[in-house]
Amino acid sequence: MIENIKLMFSQMNDPTRSIAIAHIQKEFRLDTATHIYRDWFIRGNIPEHYQERTVSMFQNLLRQQELRTREIYVNL
């Protein structure tokens, strides 16, 4: 599941990544964004009890990102 989470994170653009880290920080009451980025997405140290919820959040964020991207292309 960790590889799936890391793959989804890599598919996010910068604004969506910032939102994702902020959601993780708030949802799980974690310290700093730097800690989350380094430990979760660089090292792959995602606590097992957070993984399922993280997948759900990331799927929703990627859907929202896709909708925003389509909206930009339609409005051009």
Rounded Cα distance between 72 and 10, Å, is 21
Residues of the chain with pLDDT > 70: what percent? 93
Quick one: pLDDT band at residue 75, thresholds 50, 70, 90?
Answer: low
Domain that holds residue 53: 2-75
pLDDT at 59 (0 to 100): 98
Both tokens of residue 71? 């909206």
pLDDT at 76 (0 to 100): 58
Q: What is the tally of structural domains in the chain?
A: 1
For the residues of 2-65, what is the DSSP string, one character each? HHHHHHHHHTS-HHHHHHHHHHHHHHTT-S-HHHHIIIIIIS----HHHHHHHHHHHHHHHHHH
Give the model confidence (pLDDT) of 21-54 as tens digits.
999 999 999 988 999 999 999 999 999 999 999 9
Q: Which of 52, 55, 34 is nearest to 43 (CA)?
A: 34
Give the model confidence (pLDDT) of 7-18 as tens digits.
999 999 999 999
